[in-house]
Amino acid sequence: MQYLENIPLSTLTTMRLGGLARYVVKITATEDLKQAIQFAEERGLPWFVLGGGSNVVALGDYRGLIILNRITAFKKLREDSDTATYQIGAGEVWDSVVERLVQAGLSGVEAMSGIPGFAGSTPIQNVGAYGQEIADTLVELSAFDSSSQRLVTLSPDDCAFTYRNSIFKNPETRHHVIVSITLRLSKIPMQPPFYPSLQQYLTDHQLTDYSPAQIRAAVPAIRAERLPDLNYLASAGSFFKNPIVQASVAYELLRRFPDMPHWEAPGQQFKLAAGWLIDQAGLRSYSAHGLQIYPHNALVVTNISAQSGEDLLLFKSEVVAVVREMFGITLEQEPETLPS
Ligand code: EPU
């Protein structure tokens, strides 16, 4: 294994910010992972596992070891008349996994087509799109527990999935490195009602075939209008979480803004649309400090020419303040910040 030194974090994260990573190593097997963690611990350095860097923003230097998890595997474990179960290595490119499962005629991840990054990152923020989320298909995952130095199997309950969250996003419970995920897919296609923008697309194109292949063909077209191409424009996808508020807060806001999008959430709460709030606050296309609210989707922050993490922090605090002033809601960042 080759430990590279002083690598710009801007080359490892799609927001293309940050300083230097002291060490970077690519691993392709669990054994490599153990060695890499040992390398860091012997030197008293922290370590952090990165997939595609599309949901992590780096602000400054990282004085430890960045481990690029490229452990591959793609294996059918079981099949019955309605389902098929696959074990997938954490380092498999997510969209290629979706492609292979769709080619096998399986449903469960087709609406998550076109999401950047690697399979092992999907449980971290409970990735979801257009009505599907990874928590719906994940049956278990295998992880290296760095506190016990053992491979462990975690159930979805162990992962404590909620909207864009899991135990892996919490620094205090973050001692697992995901090695593989096991997904149970269905042989029955998705059924209506569909997520609004997906339904709109299907209606506009008079599509009534809901096969995984058809949904996989539709989703990238919807995404292309709303999300920048990471090859041309630096961003980390949705930059804010959709806020979840008490019903009383949502009702009060609906009195003032009757058109405000809102969805019921567990525990007598409502999920609101951060993109709508930012948009209504007049911040669509807002640009400062080298960053810009993406003109086609106010939920996305793009990095045009920011020089440092400080620029991003300033920009973020301006957006949060304007939205708080107008709606009384404090937006939270969705991508993780790489610890320093
Ligand atoms: N909206 C606006 N203006 C905007 C953006 C959105 O008015 O500039 C409104 C939309 O019209 C809609 C509502 O806000 O009524 C919600 O928008 P949309 O359905 O496009 O979804 P989203 O909340 O913007 C979420 C995920 C996306 C995922 C889409 C589709 C989060 C933080 N984001 O976006 O995930 O692709 O739903 O399922 O939950 C990501 O996490 O990086 C990501 C791209």
141-151: pLDDT as tens digits: 999 999 999 99
Q: Tell me the three-class secondary structure of 33-57, residue by residue.
A: HHHHHHHHHHCCCCEEEECCCCCEE
Task: Determine what percent of the chain falls in helix, strand and coil, rounding each to the nearest 5.
Answer: 30, 30, 40
Taking 90 as the threshold, does the pLDDT of residue 218 lie above it?
yes
Tell which one of 132, 197, 263, 276 to mutate to probe ligand 1, the residue whose CB is within 8 A of the most ligand atoms: 276
Cβ-based burial of 235 (10 A; exposed 0-12, middle 13-18, buried ≥19): buried
Q: What is the pLDDT of residues 83-134, one digit of tens each?
A: 999 999 999 999 999 999 999 999 999 999 999 999 999 999 999 999 999 9
Catalytic residue among 22, 164, 184, 223: 164
Is 287 a catalytic site residue? no
The rounded Å distance from CA 106 to ligand 1 centre is 25
Tell which one of 14, 132, 199, 238 to mutate to probe ligand 1, the residue whose CB is within 8 A of the most ligand atoms: 238
Is 63 a catalytic site residue? no
How many angstroms separate the CA atoms of 219 and 264, rounded? 24
How many angstroms separate the CA atoms of 316 and 299, rounded? 12
What structural domains and CATH numbers belong to the chain?
4-69 (3.30.43.10), 74-186 (3.30.465.10), 234-337 (3.90.78.10)
Taking 90 as the threshold, does the pLDDT of residue 173 lie above it?
no
Instruction: Tell me the pLDDT band of 40, cut-offs 50, 70 and 90.
Output: very high
Task: Report yes or no on whether pTM surpasses 0.85.
Answer: yes
Torsion of CA 161, 167, 169, 170, to 10 degrees: 140
The rounded Å distance from CA 27 to ligand 1 centre is 34
Ligand 1 closest atom vs CA 129: 38
Q: Which residues line ligand 1 (CB under 6 A)?
A: 129-130, 164, 195, 197, 226-227, 237-238, 241-242, 261, 273, 275-276, 279, 284, 297-299, 334
| Alpha carbon distances (Å) from 55 to 119, 155, 236 | 13, 23, 5
Is 150 a catalytic site residue? no
Catalytic residue among 92, 133, 140, 334: 334
